[in-house]
Amino acid sequence: MRLTHVASLRLPFGPLLSYDLAVSPAEDTLPVSFDQARHVGGGDRTGSWMALAFSLPAPVPRDHLAAAWRAVVTAHGTLRTVFVRGDDGAPTLHEAGIGPGTWVRHEVAPGQAMQDALRAVLDAGCTPFARPSHRFCVIETADGPAIVVGADHAHVDMWSLLVIARDLLAALDRLREGLDPGLAGVPAFAEHSRCLLERPGAPPRSTAAGRRSSRPGAGPCPGSRCPWAIRPRSRNAWRSGTCWT
């Protein structure tokens, strides 16, 4: 597992598809975290997403990939939330219904690098106010599909992308065994935001220290390279994986 930038990504050549889910109108209002408000408040823009790419060791039917992805989205409440601008212009978060999807094939122009074609898909579909703001992409090859999961950063971080990959592989295992791909549900990130809102505020001394530590030059930032060694329990273990922005 390695962290990189999309410009340095190496992808196989093949048909580029995405499984685009249908989204019903936004419903219940959910709390928005401080960081989400800052990120989404910048509006729709390219490059606001994160993504994870990995390869499966053998071909997988499209209907299995689609069913596994629907199971992941059903299990993770955060993937079923969308941002909407309120009357005052501030972002509001809502739970939305997710319906069946359709496979869409994306053009790869002659001479165009695969990572550039993929970046165009993610730039268009993984923006803060997109509905949904994530995309499940597949590059089909004879050896097996390359899977790409991308989402706007307001919904995921790199660690949650690894959890999504783990659950996708678990759902594929269940499908291969003839079982329902359904996964145990997990709380949405909005539940964490709600818990924080219900707690008392930090004392003035702590907030002042936080402002000092966040000033430019207050301390070193983490390095840009972050190697992860992850061994998935699934028998569908990927050959290689890459996280990037």
Average pLDDT over residues 180-189: 77
Does 206 map to a domain? no
Q: CA torsion 131→179→144→226, rounded to 10°?
A: 60
pLDDT band of residue 208 (cuts 50, 70, 90) is low
In a domain, 45, yes or no: yes
Q: Considering the domain boundaries, does residue 84 fall inside one?
A: yes
CB 60 within 8 A of CB 174: no
Classify residue 233: in a domain, yes or no.
no
What is residue 160's predicted lDDT score, i.e. its pLDDT? 87
Predicted confidence (pLDDT) per residue in 99-114, tens digit? 889 999 999 999 999 9
What is the pLDDT, as a whole number, of residue 103? 98
Range of the domain at 9: 2-196+240-244
Kindly state the helix (H) or strand (E) to which residue 158 belongs, with its residue range: helix 158-176
Element housing 118 (H / E): helix 114-125
The pTM score is 0.77
Look at residue 210 and tell me if it is in a domain: no
Q: Using alpha carbons, select from 7, 30, 22, 23 the residue that is nearest to residue 188.
A: 30
Number of domains in the chain: 1
- Is residue 133 included in any domain, yes or no? yes
CB count, 10 Å around CB of 180?
10
Would 211 be classed as within a structural domain?
Answer: no
Instruction: Confirm whether 214 is domain-assigned.
Output: no
